Structure 1
Amino acid sequence: WPQAVLGLTFNWGVLVGATAVAGELRAEALLLYLAGFFWTLGYDTIYAHQDKEDDALIGVRSTALRLGTRSRLWIAGFYALALGLIGLAGWQAGKGALLAVGLVVVAALLAHQVRRVDLDDPADCLRHFRANRTVGLLVVAALLAGNVELAG
């Protein structure tokens, strides 16, 4: 699965950066790394659906081919795992309630994406793949908002 290899390597910076800042590898960094892995599996499976005919011809064993008609369900699961792990990392790091609010917004966007993407339309797959840029920005905003203490 090229998408799994991408997820493992693309998110490596979380571990390196967190260790450089904290001086040690903390649990929340591992949780964020795993969250990034599953998020990558989700959005890159959407991307892989653009090329599934070519992948089949040349023997690439993409998640789009492996998961086939079950892709939508798996993408939803990958996204759910990513969001759960981000939430767990935030809890582990002592983030506040605004992280949860932000993650609810992200979950709604990802659920909409999973429902709406036409996995047989390459242009639509690309559009939904690119929408994950906004998702990433919202995750960062949610993590930052989690630093805000609410009066209560």
Structure 2
Amino acid sequence: MTEQIVPDTQHRGLVASLPQLPRDLAQLARFDRPIGWWLLFWPCVWGVWLAGAGWQLALLGWLLLGSIAMRGAGCVYNDIVDAKLDARVARTASRPVASGRISKKLAWGWLIALCLVGLMVLLQLRPMAQMVALGSIVLVAAYPFMKRITWWPQAWLGMVFTWGLLVGWTHLRPGDWAYSWDALAAMYAGAALWVIGFDTIYALQDREDDAMVGIRSSALRMGGKVKAGVTLFYAAAITLWALAFWLYREDWLALLALIPAAVHLAWQVATLDPDNPDNPLERFRANRLTGALVAAACFVVGNA
């Protein structure tokens, strides 16, 4: 049974206890690896809290549900598209579609079910925020193909994974785009660079297999300069977030709120060991805390 559990699952015991079909569906949507929906959810929180409307816990609850469902839907779609490639990579060969345990027809059905949950969340948003959310569909649909045509699929993921920032902000401040577009653009660009950094770390796990089967990634493109590259992306992210805070509120004290996140990102880079099989995954998962620290900074700046 254990050979049918994806190696980097975070809930091996829970997943292994499920009957085969529910276990495969849970794995297909990556319910056993919550780090993905945390990383999708945190930018939503940034947009909500930077908007300065307080805690907004009910809204955040809906956005969390949407993050879980749509991250799951994105993973199912990715596995359908990448089934043949996944079967040739050691870490992903045991995925339900790649291994043949789940048919593509059933996978499409599961994808539709998850999208219906996402639709329920979408209907809780204001019309302008709904339009912004729907604007990400093309980006999401194109993402699985980016690794075939560019060395920087992580850049595309950066645009996709941080879209919730724009959704959260627009729901609460639908008429403020003209007033604060510069701060919002800087925040979004910084978020995208953050994603490039942490997903490059994640891609370190598959460098050898990716090279053999022709999958492109920023980790392969950087070669022996991965640590320097990730440092550059993280530094640029912090710089753009600081710019966003300054454009939003010209207060030097507000910039201090970013110090914990900056220190945490510096720790990631300083302790990153690209040649250690376990280290990159641990550093990648550490970005759940980074997201929380940036969220706290956004709350301070937006609500102080």
- Please give the TM-score of this superposition, normalised by the length of structure 1: 0.89
Amino acid at match of 1:89: A
Separation of aligned partners in 1, 2:184 and 2:302: 16
> Counterpart in 1 of 2:292?
137
Give 1:20 shift.
3.1
Structure 1 residues 18-37: aligned runs within 5 Å: 18-24=169-175, 25=177, 26-37=181-192
Is the Cα contact below 8 Å between 2:273 and 2:280 reproduced in 1?
yes
SS at match of 2:216: coil
From 144, 164, 170, the counterpart of 1:13: 164
**Which range moved further: 16-25 or 75-84?**
16-25
Is the Cα contact below 8 Å between 1:35 and 1:81 reproduced in 2?
yes
Q: Which runs of 5+ in 2 are unaligned?
A: 1-151
**Which range moved further: 103-112 or 59-68?**
103-112
What fraction of aligned residue pairs are identical, expressed as a percent? 42
**Which range moved further: 132-141 or 26-35?**
26-35
- Over 3 Å counting, the alpha-carbon distance change for 1:115 and 1:73 in structure 2 is same
Amino acid at match of 2:205: Q
From 67, 72, 75, the counterpart of 2:227: 72
- Over 3 Å counting, the alpha-carbon distance change for 1:72 and 1:45 in structure 2 is same
Give 1:74 shift.
1.0
SS at match of 2:278: helix
Q: Which runs of 5+ in 1 are unaligned?
A: none
Give 1:102 shift.
2.6
SS at match of 1:91: helix
Give 1:97 shift.
4.5
SS at match of 2:195: helix
Greater Rg by CA: 2
Q: Deviations over 1:49-89 (max 9, x none)?
A: 01111111111110000001111111011001111111111
- Please give the TM-score of this superposition, normalised by the length of structure 2: 0.46
Q: Deviations over 1:11-32 (max 9, x none)?
A: 1222233233222432221111
**Which structure would you say has the larger RCO, counting Cα contacts within 8 Å and 6 or more residues apart?**
1
- Give the alignment's Cα RMSD to 1 decimal: 1.7
Is the Cα contact below 8 Å between 1:97 and 1:146 reproduced in 2?
no
Give 1:100 shift.
2.0
Structure 1 residues 3-152: aligned runs within 5 Å: 3-24=154-175, 25=177, 26-94=181-249, 96-147=251-302
Amino acid at match of 2:235: A
Amino acid at match of 1:5: W
Q: Which runs of 4+ in 1 moved over 3 A?
A: 95-99
